[in-house]
Amino acid sequence: MKRILAAVLVLFAFAGILGAQKLELYYYKQENQEGLKKLVDQFVKENPGISIDLLIVPNDADATMSARAAQGKLPDILQMQSYSRVAEYAAKGYLVDLSKQPVLAKVVDSSKPAVTWNSKLWGLPMDFAGIGIIYNKEIFAKYGLQPPATYRDLERLCRSLRTNGVTPFAGLLKENWSMGHFITLVHTNLLVEKKISADKFVADMNAGKTSYGVVDTDKLFSIMDFYRANMDKNAEEWNWNEQQAAFAEGKAAMMVQGLWSYGAAIGTNPKLECGFVPFPIFNDSAMNKFYADVDSCFGVSAQSAPDKKAAALKFLEWLATPQAQKIWVEDYKLTLSFKGANVSKLGGPFVDLMTGVGKNGAYPWAFASYPTAVFEDACKNGAQQYVFNKKTAEAVIADIDKQWAANVKK
Amino acid sequence: MVQKKSTRRFNFILFTAPAFILYALFFLLPFGQGLRISFTNWDGLTPKTPISMDKADFESQILAKLAPGPDRDFVVSLYTLDTSERYSRQGLSGIKRYRLERILKKAGYSPETYKDVGFENYRSIFTGQVDARFYPRRYEERYFNPSSDLPIQIEVAEYEKHFLDKLDQDEAVLAAVFYDKAGDYYKLSPDMDEFEAEDPLYSLPALGWGRLSSSAVDDFVDAVKKAGLAQDEATLKAAIATFTAPLDEADRAQVEMAARKIFEIGEFKTLLASNWRAEKFDLGVVGFTIFFALGNVILANLLAFWIAMALDRKLKTKNILRSVFFLPNVLSMIVVALIWSFIFFHLLPKLTGIQTWMSDSAKAPWLLVMVSVWQAAGYFMVVYLAGLQNIPQDVLEAAMIDGASPWNRLRHITLPLLVPAFTVCIFLSIANALKCFDLVYAMVGPSGYAVGTVPFVMDIFFDAFARKLAGLATAKATLLFIAILAITGLQLYFMKRKEVQL
Amino acid sequence: MSYRFKPIHLLEAFMILLAFVFIYPALFVLVSALKPDADIMLRPLALPSSLFLDNFVKAWKVMEFPRVAATTLLITTLGVVGIVLTSSMAAWMLARTERRYAWLIYSLFAFALVIPFQIIMVPLAVLASDLGLTNPLGIVVLYWGLGAPMAVFMFHGFVKSVPKELEESAAIDGAGTAFIFFRIVFPLLKPITATIAVLDALWIWNDFLLPLLVIKQGTIQLAQMQFYGQFLKEYGPLTASLVLSAVPIIVFYLVLQKYIIKGIAAGAVKG
């Protein structure tokens, strides 16, 4: 027994010595992990001096990262949600300033605001994602329906689907983020009607000069009610898998989701033919655009040793090479923020997204610029509590304002 | 004793030190540090000493305030200036970090979100300034928003109890125009469908010819709806007049009719919105935690005791059964949460015909108690079983010969002798239920706020990591700790006095 | 063959039914592991249509099961051995020393039973990193400290139920304290040792949060997270990995279970 123990101890000691330039890469996008693994393998193959350990924290990443930050041991490369997460980490000094890195010059300008804080760049924007309506083409064809271009179209569409016994939307009200995304999607759209840009709105909120209720709140909540009314009667019980199952099976014709869930739907039913359109808020179809923005980015930890930082930057630099871009698109299955990136191989809905954005532009993910606590709590929980009848519309707005003020004050 | 006093003392230390030092180091020390945080406004992310800083800021805020000497040299040795004109330092551990913290604190560096605030966190908890969801409270559920479309159908019980019963005769007459009872539902009359009523406006020929923009129709519909909700005849007329001015006669009539209909629907919408409401009570974090603990303590112990009594009989399968009842303890939390979520969603509706379970705030707390009891009962069962096996058979047999009824035997022999087992099980169930986190977190997550099932520790967790209020979170944790200590202390004190020595 | 109905048979039947409720969830996981993902989502209650082992293959490969299982086994074994050793020594000494300070130290241990782990989580993670304990062997040391309160609590209770005459006569014969403990007392503690071994093994084996904060990856529970994301849950491999990880610990429990009643009984009841 003792001998075995000793052997094990020696083994562990060895494991510690080996591994020359070991980087730790943290990621949260669990749905694309196989592509990321392939990407990292390729990099390591080309750069034998560096090895990369992948660390996934798909749930409660905030808790883990807080503890890691307090330990003084943030992973060398961090995958972050764009805007506020970047701003938060940059403001606390956890990130390396990437403004002068050559790789950032290869990024399309429209993606840069997502990683900007204090007019410097703190991350490498990677994928461009959209939230909208993913619809089942087969069902639409069966009942002779067209994807909606206006809100009125959508209302009519839902009526015909219901008459035909098809649930219009597969919802997932049990997850708070689903309504969180939705309320901010509608809210950002409605800002347009008031001729306020999302940036200005966030800046005004931060300055305490405006309220979340600056938009037409009657419309905001009536669209939320409309969305809820066109889900399954039981949608409050629905979790992620119920949504995916109902959509993949054709019980529901549409789901309001990010394209990250397209892969899962296809996985459940490979024969599914999907299309992707913006969730139309207005009756003027030119005003309806995808709710799309840079979703994630990579940053480098300021706490890492200089040689590790250099290795991490080398990895970011490598991500812009053609072979890396190819793996990114074909295996990681996400769009890219590099200039001239070719995303044609991503499949139907992605093409819908890219052509739609190319033609009409997009509305930015304003929620990503809210203070994180506001989006995580007041928006996500508030919107969900509204749907559960636990909170009135006025209270949802009031709580968002209150929490926003409290977070800016700090 | 033959040992000398000094030897005895040495042995005492030798034997207790390893466990105690490890325990003090990894339990008491972090606990103390946690308490320290409860007196700050820490957001859970701000480092005490800067990790990286712009050159100018670093020089003015830090270097300028340090007098030349070993301390300043130490700081300078830690930070390096990189190509982007920023000073940064690597992760530090232990003594170096403490030294840096001390030096910078002395130099007056103190981040905005890591400041001492004294008892502020505690004060805000006691004065009710923490989020309303923390405390038990009354609130009003509103089921209809007047700016939304009328529901196509409403459940009978729901409609009658929360709406129809509140109406006077005239209002009831109005309601009857809109909703008809059909089966389990009141269904919206197709004539009163607002979307259909609006349709003529969106199919005006003028729209096709481009004489009218779709946004003009939108604005008109909005104006009519608003007038309808307020039942403001004058505004309606004005809106119609303006809108119809460029239209021809036939279209005008069409517009007028549609607008009247929308106006009429508006009256009912206002009625529905202002009456279809209900007063509800929300347990809040505090209330749910107490409910959960009480439910657990009572039900888990009753069930465990009952199973133990049954397995104490001469059952053929008792060994297998014992393993099976203990099995839930073996499964990890994810398994438990995953399985029960599936059961609540797929199995229970099939068995009972009732559709909503975990999303119903009347049922969810009970379901969570049930799962938790299911998990804990096996463990307590073992304790009770052991206690039962320790009861001398001769005492029970003597009582039987004396003709004591089974109830009396239970009441006067078994229960008193089992008090020690009850003491332990109740102690553990109180402490564990009040500390509960994993199970509820895995089963409901943040959605707990929507169904009112957020236990104390989960609320603390969200405060610390989602709401960025680490200081407040630790203050809450400290209060929870004091509460558990007080409750279990009292429980142990009273139950120990009841224990019978054999 | 004559069969006479007795109430006890009714009781037995009822208990078996109740047992089914207790075991059903575990069976559910097992059955799900044998079905493709799509079947789990679309027909969760159905039995598998054929023997489908892909989930196990995927779980095994993606998690690098042999490697993470070995690490988890090492952590669990060393953790349990350490807790049992240090706690039994301390508990015995505390139980046999009839002094106020001994009682005080014992109470201090019991005090920890009411502290929620989430409170000490972040400071503990920082401490672990300061002390260089952020590796599989380091976390073992943390478990020794964290496991001490419950183990001391239970050992303490058990020792009180063991007559001390044996120890006293050995002491009179001139045996040293270490000899008395390891040769005479420790063997007598077998039931409670088995119990604590099982409970702590369950805890360490299934622990998620502490390994996540301290060693970040490499245990079974952490590797499982690859199948359990916010936006994508791969139920097939997930349930397969749950089965894979539960089997060793269930076997361990079954082997030691005959001691458990004796152990919990004496340890807890006399505490």
Is the Cβ pair B51, A304 closer than 8 Å?
no
Residues B312 and B389 in one domain: yes
Q: Per the structure block, which two tokens stand in for C15?
A: 């208990």
Is the Cβ pair A67, C37 closer than 8 Å?
no
Q: How near does any CA of chain C get to the CA of A25, in Å?
A: 11
DSSP β-bridge partners for residue B186: B154, B181
Number of folded domains that form chain C = 1
Model pLDDT, residue A16:
42
Residues B277 and B177 in one domain: yes
Task: Give a yes or no: residue B441 inside a domain.
Answer: yes
Percentage of the residues of chain B whose pLDDT score is greater than 70 = 99
Residues 6+ apart with CB under 8 A from B339: C25, C26, C28, C29
Interface test with B, best of C84, C101, C109, C118 (most B CBs within 10 A): C118
Q: Which of A116, A125, A89 is nearest to A298 (CA)?
A: A125
Residues B449 and B343 in one domain: yes
DSSP β-bridge partners for residue A80: A297
For each of the domains in chain A, give its residue range(s) and CATH number, in order of start: 21-127+294-348 (3.40.190.10), 130-292+363-409 (3.40.190.10)
Q: Per the structure block, which two tokens stand in for B159?
A: 């409609």
User: Residue B85: pLDDT above 90?
Assistant: no
Average of per-residue pLDDT across B468-496: 90
Number of A/C CB contacts below 8 angstroms equals: 88
Is the Cβ pair C129, A71 closer than 8 Å?
yes
Is the Cβ pair A31, C231 closer than 8 Å?
yes
Integer-rounded Cα Rg, in Å, for chain B is: 34
Task: Give a yes or no: residue B39 inside a domain.
Answer: no
Task: Give a yes or no: residue B124 inside a domain.
Answer: no
Which DSSP state fits B151? Answer: P
Average of per-residue pLDDT across B144-159: 91
Helix (H) or strand (E) holding A133: strand A124-136
Q: Which of A293, A284, A303 is nearest to A364 (CA)?
A: A293
Listed as own residue / partner, the contacts of A32-38 with beta carbons closer than 8 Å and 24 or more positions apart are A32/A260, A32/A263, A32/A332, A32/A333, A32/A334, A33/C226, A34/A331, A35/A327, A35/A328, A35/A330, A35/A331, A35/A332, A35/A333, A35/A334, A36/A332, A38/A327, A38/A331, A38/A332
Is the Cβ pair C257, B322 closer than 8 Å?
yes
Q: pLDDT tens, B18-75?
A: 999 999 999 899 999 888 899 999 988 888 889 988 898 898 888 888 889 899 999 9
- Please identify which residue in the block is written with the tokens 């409605």: A190
Percentage of the residues of chain A whose pLDDT score is greater than 70 = 95
Model pLDDT, residue A14:
44
Distance from C-alpha of C143 to C-alpha of C175, rounded to nearest angstrom: 32
Residues B290 and B331 in one domain: yes
Distance from C-alpha of B383 to C-alpha of B422, rounded to nearest angstrom: 9
- Please identify which residue in the block is written with the tokens 């000691």: A13
User: Hey, is the C-beta of B93 within 8 angstroms of any chain A C-beta?
Assistant: yes
Distance from C-alpha of C122 to C-alpha of A68, rounded to nearest angstrom: 9
Distance from C-alpha of A90 to C-alpha of A107, rounded to nearest angstrom: 19
Asked whether the beta carbons of B205 and B256 are under 8 A apart, the reply is no
Taking contacts as CB-CB distances below 8 angstroms, the residues of chain C near A71 are 125-126, 128-129, 134
DSSP labels for B58-124? HHHHTGGGSPTTHHHHHHHHH-EE-TTSEEE-----HHHHHHHHHHHHHTT---TTS-B-TTHHHHH
Task: Give a yes or no: residue C119 inside a domain.
Answer: yes
DSSP β-bridge partners for residue A254: A135, A169
Number of folded domains that form chain B = 4
Interface test with B, best of A89, A162, A226, A391 (most B CBs within 10 A): A391
C37, C137, C225: residue with CB nearest A268: C37
Residues 6+ apart with CB under 8 A from B187: B152, B153, B179, B180, B181
Model pLDDT, residue C67:
92
Which tops the pLDDT comparison, B213 or B77? Answer: B77
Q: How near does any CA of chain C get to the CA of A286, in Å?
A: 31
Taking contacts as CB-CB distances below 8 angstroms, the residues of chain A near B356 are 234, 236-237
Distance from C-alpha of B351 to C-alpha of B71, rounded to nearest angstrom: 72
Asked whether the beta carbons of B472 and A410 are under 8 A apart, the reply is no
Q: Which of B30, B484, A35, B51 is nearest to C213 (CA)?
A: B30
Taking contacts as CB-CB distances below 8 angstroms, the residues of chain C near A244 are 41
Average pLDDT, chain B: 88
Q: How near does any CA of chain C get to the CA of A34, in Å?
A: 9
Interface test with B, best of A303, A308, A379, A408 (most B CBs within 10 A): A303
Q: Per the structure block, which two tokens stand in for B440?
A: 């509820």
Model pLDDT, residue C265:
56
Number of C-beta neighbours around residue C47 at 10 A: 9
Cα–Cα distances (Å) from A3 to A8, C80, C136, C197, in that order, read 9, 18, 19, 22
Residues B310 and B422 in one domain: yes
Chain A contacts in chain B segment 139-178 (CB below 8 A): 139-143, 145, 147-149, 151-152
Model pLDDT, residue B502:
46
Average of per-residue pLDDT across B375-381: 89
Interface test with A, best of C210, C217, C227, C230 (most A CBs within 10 A): C230
Residues B11 and B55 in one domain: no
Task: Give a yes or no: residue C52 inside a domain.
Answer: no
Asked whether the beta carbons of A137 and A262 are under 8 A apart, the reply is no
Instruction: Kindly report the backbone phi and psi dihedral angles of residue A129, in degrees, each rounded to the nearest multiple of 5, phi listed first.
Output: -130, 155
Residues B306 and B255 in one domain: no
Chain A contacts in chain B segment 444-463 (CB below 8 A): 445-447, 449-452, 461-462
Asked whether the beta carbons of B314 and C8 are under 8 A apart, the reply is yes
Q: Which mean pLDDT values do the consecutive 10-residue runs of chain C (271 residues) have?
A: 70 89 84 81 75 86 90 95 95 90 89 82 88 91 93 86 85 87 89 86 89 86 79 78 87 82 57 42
- Touching chains, A (3+ CB pairs < 8 A): B, C
Is the Cβ pair A70, C122 closer than 8 Å?
yes
Distance from C-alpha of B429 to C-alpha of B445, rounded to nearest angstrom: 22
Is the Cβ pair C41, A260 closer than 8 Å?
no
How do beta strands A167-169 and A252-258 pair? parallel
C123, C149, C174: residue with CB nearest B34: C123
Q: How near does any CA of chain C get to the CA of A262, in Å?
A: 10
| B152: helix, strand or coil | coil
Q: Which of C100, C107, C117, C191 is nearest to C152 (CA)?
A: C107
Interface test with C, best of B338, B344, B388 (most C CBs within 10 A): B338
Domain end among B240, B266, B282: B282
| CATH value at residue B362 | 1.10.3720.10
Residues on chain C bordering chain A, Cβ-to-Cβ distance under 8 angstroms: 37-38, 41-42, 74, 121-122, 125-126, 128-129, 134-137, 212-213, 216-217, 225-226, 228-233, 235
Q: pLDDT tens, A128-185?
A: 889 999 999 999 999 999 999 999 999 999 999 999 999 999 998 998 999 999 999 9
Model pLDDT, residue C238:
85
Q: Could you tell me which chain A residue has the CA closest to the CA of C211?
A: A64
Model pLDDT, residue A12:
47
Asked whether the beta carbons of B97 and A72 are under 8 A apart, the reply is yes
For chain A, the 3-state helix, strand and coil shares in percent, each to the nearest 5, are 55, 15, 25
Residues B221 and B316 in one domain: no
Q: Which of A73, A60, A62 is nearest to A23 (CA)?
A: A73
Asked whether the beta carbons of B279 and B355 are under 8 A apart, the reply is no
Q: How near does any CA of chain B get to the CA of C114, in Å?
A: 6
Asked whether the beta carbons of A72 and B96 are under 8 A apart, the reply is no
Residues B351 and B439 in one domain: yes
Residues B277 and B290 in one domain: no
User: Residue B328: pLDDT above 60?
Assistant: yes
How do beta strands B137-142 and A77-81 pair? unpaired
Residue C89: give the domain boundaries.
Answer: 62-269
Task: Give a yes or no: residue C19 inside a domain.
Answer: no
User: Residue A18: pLDDT above 50?
Assistant: no
Distance from C-alpha of B263 to C-alpha of C77, rounded to nearest angstrom: 75
Model pLDDT, residue A207:
94
Q: Which of B198, B230, B202 is nearest to B216 (CA)?
A: B202
Q: pLDDT tens, A309-350?
A: 999 999 999 998 988 888 888 877 777 888 877 777 777 888
Average pLDDT, chain A: 88
Which tops the pLDDT comparison, A77 or C113? Answer: A77
Taking contacts as CB-CB distances below 8 angstroms, the residues of chain B near A381 are 446, 449-450
Task: Give a yes or no: residue B113 inside a domain.
Answer: no
Number of B/C CB contacts below 8 angstroms equals: 247
Average of per-residue pLDDT across B448-456: 92
Helix (H) or strand (E) holding A293: strand A290-300
Q: Could you tell me which chain C residue has the CA closest to the CA of B45?
A: C122
Q: Provide the CA B196 distance to its chain's centre, in angstroms.
A: 42
Distance from C-alpha of B179 to C-alpha of B185, rounded to nearest angstrom: 9
Task: Give a yes or no: residue C53 inside a domain.
Answer: no
Task: Give a yes or no: residue C134 inside a domain.
Answer: yes
Task: Give a yes or no: residue B312 inside a domain.
Answer: yes
Residues B344 and B230 in one domain: no
User: Residue A60: pLDDT above 80?
Assistant: no
Q: Which of B361, B376, B237 is nearest to B298 (CA)?
A: B376
Model pLDDT, residue A346:
72
Task: Give a yes or no: residue C39 inside a domain.
Answer: no
Instruction: Outline where A143-237 has alpha helix (H).
Output: 151-163, 176-193, 198-206, 217-229
Asked whether the beta carbons of A99 and B84 are under 8 A apart, the reply is yes
Distance from C-alpha of A129 to C-alpha of A296, rounded to nearest angstrom: 9
Q: pLDDT tens, B338-347?
A: 788 888 888 8
DSSP labels for C139-150? HHHHHHHHHHHH
Model pLDDT, residue B269:
95
Q: Per the structure block, which two tokens stand in for A401?
A: 């304002």
Task: Give a yes or no: residue C236 inside a domain.
Answer: yes
Q: How near does any CA of chain C get to the CA of B93, in Å?
A: 5
Q: Name the packing angle between helices C190-206 and C136-161 (round to 10°).
A: 150
Q: How near does any CA of chain A get to the CA of C217, in Å?
A: 7
Domain end among B73, B95, B117: B95
Q: pLDDT tens, C98-151?
A: 888 998 998 888 888 888 887 788 889 889 988 888 899 999 999 999 999 999
Distance from C-alpha of B17 to C-alpha of B10, rounded to nearest angstrom: 10
Model pLDDT, residue C70:
93
Residues B224 and B371 in one domain: no
Taking contacts as CB-CB distances below 8 angstroms, the residues of chain B near C119 are 31, 34, 460, 474, 477-478, 481
B315, B347, B383: residue with CB nearest C268: B383
Q: How near does any CA of chain C get to the CA of B181, in Å?
A: 34
| CATH value at residue C200 | 1.10.3720.10
Model pLDDT, residue A410:
55
User: Residue A55: pLDDT above 50?
Assistant: yes
Q: Per the structure block, which two tokens stand in for B485?
A: 């200590």
Is the Cβ pair B338, C264 closer than 8 Å?
no
C86, C120, C172: residue with CB nearest B22: C86
How do beta strands A21-27 and A50-56 pair? parallel
Residue B11: give the domain boundaries.
Answer: 1-30
Asked whether the beta carbons of A302 and A169 are under 8 A apart, the reply is no
Distance from C-alpha of A331 to C-alpha of A326, rounded to nearest angstrom: 8
Interface test with B, best of A157, A174, A189 (most B CBs within 10 A): A174
Model pLDDT, residue A17:
41
